[in-house]
Amino acid sequence: MILEFSRFEFKYVLHKKLREAVESELGYFMQLDPFVEEAEHNRYIVRSLYFDDPFNTAFFDKIDGLKKRSKFRVRTYAREKQAATPIFLEQKGRYDNRVFKHRVLMTESSSTFDDKNLTEMLLTEQSNESVLEKFRFEWFRKQIRPVALIDYLRRPYFSKYDHEFRVTFDEKLTGTETSELFPGISKTGVQLLPGYTVMEVKFGHKVPGWFHRILQSYELERVPLSKICEGMKRLNLAADI
Considering the chain, what percentage of its residues have pLDDT values greater than 70? 92
**Mean pLDDT score of the chain:** 90
Spell out the residues 6+ positions from residue 62 whose beta carbon is closer than 8 angstroms to its own.
Answer: 69, 71, 224, 226, 229
What 3-state DSSP class applies to 18? helix
Q: What percent of the chain has pLDDT over 90?
A: 68
Q: What is the reported pLDDT for 6?
A: 81
What does the pLDDT look like over 36-77, one tens digit per residue? 988 889 999 999 999 999 999 999 999 999 999 999 999 999
Q: What is the pLDDT at residue 111?
A: 54
Report pLDDT for 241. Answer: 73
Tell me the per-residue pLDDT of 177-209, one tens digit each, with 9 for 90 and over.
999 999 877 778 899 999 999 999 999 888 999
Confidence of residue 115 (pLDDT cuts 50, 70, 90): low
The model's pLDDT over 150-187, given as tens digits with 9 standing for 90+, comes to: 999 999 999 999 888 999 999 999 999 999 999 877 77
Residue 240 has a pLDDT of 84
What's the mean pLDDT in 81-109?
84
Name the residue among 136, 142, 169, 215 with its Cα closest to residue 32. 169
pLDDT band at 129 (very low <50, low <70, confident <90, very high): confident
Greatest distance between any 2 Cα atoms in the chain: 52
**Pairing, β 166-176 against β 196-203:** antiparallel
